[in-house]
Chain A
Amino acid sequence: MLTGQVLLERIQKNVGVPWQSQRSDGFSDGILEGDADAPVTGVVTSFTPTLEVLRRAVATHKNTIICREAPFYSRGERAPLFWRNSPGPPQEMTDSDPVCRAKQEFITQNHLIILRLSENWDARSSDGQLRGLVRALAWEKFHLPNKNRQEYDPRNVYFQASKNSLGLLAQDLMAKLKIHGVRVIGEATSPVRKVALTHGLLLVADSERMLREQDLDVVIAGDAVEWEAAPYFQDLVTAGRIKGLILIGQQASEEPGSGEMAEWLRSFVTEVPVEWVPAGEPFWVLA
């Protein structure tokens, strides 16, 4: 019988890298919620297990959600690095919080299993998050991979720009990914030819590595800390070292990878249906 635990073990066997928790603080990959010995009735993959995603899972008779983020608005770190994010709220706070309580009750009442799969998925030699994002953008034809590496090696992030100015490129990303809250550093009219496409939180060290690439004009990422990589790119633009930075949002940059994850899961989970349910962009913006 396919239980939560059996599913986890099958993932561990198929992931292709030694299973590890690479985090010294915070949630590790594995079952965060639910009974590991309960049978899996179906699998939903999503960037983050929002209440709406959980409802959709229940409505389609799937009790197991595999996601990158945890359900209660925290990565569970007690001492987050460099004040970039919040320490996890203590149990007494979440226990008395009406939103957390409503979500916890929904999880319990519907016997849901929530399985986090993030670091081990990212440790694979082919970057599923990048591949998903490239497919969502239909940018395969623009890829400039180093041929000595696997096509979606995590370092193969360079692409020919789909549009020839920073502003048009940003609008192209918005249209393809159907998102609104895209934030840009740099001049809209700056010409762009070569792009680094990344996902998640961009750090200064990552940026420096990418800046060694010849003729790089723009970096695309999910989010940036506003006293780290964001002013770093402001300064790079002022210094004329790059044309710009486009932040498409954490969710938009990581969600297509959950589609890749669903496809990969279907290759070794055949007893139950596996569906990708995008959480969708959380934001809207003023006109």
Chain B
Amino acid sequence: MDHTTLSRRRFCQLAGGGLLLAPTFLRGQSSSGTLTAREVVARIRKHVGVPWRTPTADDFKIGDPDAPITGITTTFMSTLDLLQRSAAAGNNFVISHEPTFWSAADVVSDLRDNPLYHLKLDFIAKHKMVVWRFHDHWHARRPSDGIFAGWDRAMGWENYRVKSDNPFSIQYAIPETSLEDLARDMRKKLNVRSMRLVGDPKLPVTRVGNGGHYILQCMPQLPKVDVLLVFEGREWEAPEYIRDAIAAGEKKGLIQLPHEGGEEEGMRECALWLRTFVDEVPIAFLPSGDPFWIPA
């Protein structure tokens, strides 16, 4: 792996590298005319605007792709609670941005004796559910990354994006506010509870940069912005970087969001998008929600 790469998978999305899969969809609609998960995925592949890549995390994780579906739930994370709510809503096809089995690649070989794994499997089998992951290609969607299109819409920042050819350098020019007021606005609009902040609450803010998860994304952005947003980042990276920037006399701030805060709204966007080419079954966005709360 090259020293400068962010991650294999995320760069794969961008570079357009990797083998193209031949569009061999084994089955579409079943003989009875009932819609299947596999047929929905075939339509997604047709509409996403980029060639399908391999390797990819975007695959069926559990359940029978050829079984009839009753409804579709889009969500950020297919937690057990989310699966229960989806089943209660009558939607047996879950499209999840993040893993189902607690690792980036949904590796289950270590989980064979794990009671929680079996409990989740049993629930999925009992309710004839199927889970498909939609991560890499929803980020790679053309004309724009579906996740951050949803984030912009939730914040009302669609017109504030600073033009850039680098999809890892998303920046916004916003009307002047303070770090604290921006954080309050974001907490409300993104429906998050576990936001953590670095910097002077009164710091004037007009430029905001999306630092993603990694210091490698944060570092090139900082000189151009007042505040960096990070979601799901390790604490020895961005928080310590911004703390030192401030100690060195720079006027900077950090908003560290839960992962959902940075990406969940993108799955609401996904439901809207799916409705433009799937009309046989109901489609609902169900938030998996901020996993954390912070005691007062």
- Verify B219–A52 contact, CB threshold 8 A: no
Q: How large is the interface on B (under 10, 10 to 19, 20 to 34, 35 or more residues)?
A: 35 or more
Q: Tell me the count of chain A residues lying within 8 A, CB to CB, of chain B.
A: 71
- Verify A282–B243 contact, CB threshold 8 A: yes
CA distance A103 to B79 in the complex (A): 42
Find chain A residues with CB under 8 A from B84 CB.
238
* Contact pattern, A 78-93, Cβ under 8 Å of B = 1, otherwise 0: 1100111111111001
- Verify B216–A51 contact, CB threshold 8 A: no
Binds B, one of A136-144, A153-161, A179-187, A264-272: A179-187
* Contact pattern, B 203-216, Cβ under 8 Å of A = 1, otherwise 0: 00000000001111
Find chain B residues with CB under 8 A from A171 CB.
295
A84-B234, A86-B214, A241-B115 in contact; A283/B294 too (CB < 8 A)? no
Which among B103, B201, B214, B243 is the interface contact of A204 at CB below 8 angstroms? B103
Find chain B residues with CB under 8 A from A232 CB.
102, 116
A73-B241, A87-B1, A249-B235 in contact; A227/B197 too (CB < 8 A)? no
- Verify A239–B248 contact, CB threshold 8 A: no
Find chain A residues with CB under 8 A from B234 CB.
84-86, 201, 223, 250
- Verify B215–A86 contact, CB threshold 8 A: yes
Find chain B residues with CB under 8 A from A89 CB.
215-216, 219
- Decide yes or no whether B194 CB sits under 8 A from chain A: yes
Which among B104, B195, B248 is the interface contact of A285 at CB below 8 angstroms? B195
Binds A, one of B5-13, B58-66, B277-285: B5-13
- Decide yes or no whether A44 CB sits under 8 A from chain B: no
- Verify B237–A51 contact, CB threshold 8 A: no
- Verify A82–B248 contact, CB threshold 8 A: no
The residue of chain B having its C-beta at the shortest distance from the C-beta of A83 within the complex is: B7
The residue of chain B having its C-beta at the shortest distance from the C-beta of A91 within the complex is: B3
CA distance A89 to B99 in the complex (A): 27
- Verify B3–A226 contact, CB threshold 8 A: no
- Decide yes or no whether A260 CB sits under 8 A from chain B: no
- Verify B196–A285 contact, CB threshold 8 A: yes
- Verify B198–A99 contact, CB threshold 8 A: no
- Verify B219–A238 contact, CB threshold 8 A: no
- Decide yes or no whether B39 CB sits under 8 A from chain A: no
Find chain A residues with CB under 8 A from B245 CB.
98-99
The residue of chain A having its C-beta at the shortest distance from the C-beta of B97 within the complex is: A227
- Verify B295–A99 contact, CB threshold 8 A: no
- Verify A78–B1 contact, CB threshold 8 A: yes
- Decide yes or no whether A150 CB sits under 8 A from chain B: no
- Verify B235–A223 contact, CB threshold 8 A: yes
State the Cβ distance, A227 to closest chain B Cβ, in Å: 5
- Decide yes or no whether A16 CB sits under 8 A from chain B: no
B269-296: which have CB < 8 Å to A? 291-296
Among the interface residues B77, B105, B292, which one has the most CB atoms of the partner chain A within 10 A? B292
A97-B219, A231-B79 in contact; A282/B291 too (CB < 8 A)? no
- Verify B3–A87 contact, CB threshold 8 A: yes
Which B residues are within 8 Å of any A CB, using their own CB?
1, 3-7, 9-10, 77, 79-81, 84, 98-99, 102-105, 110, 114-116, 119-120, 180, 183-184, 187, 194-198, 201, 213-217, 219-220, 222-223, 232-245, 247-248, 250, 256, 258-259, 291-296
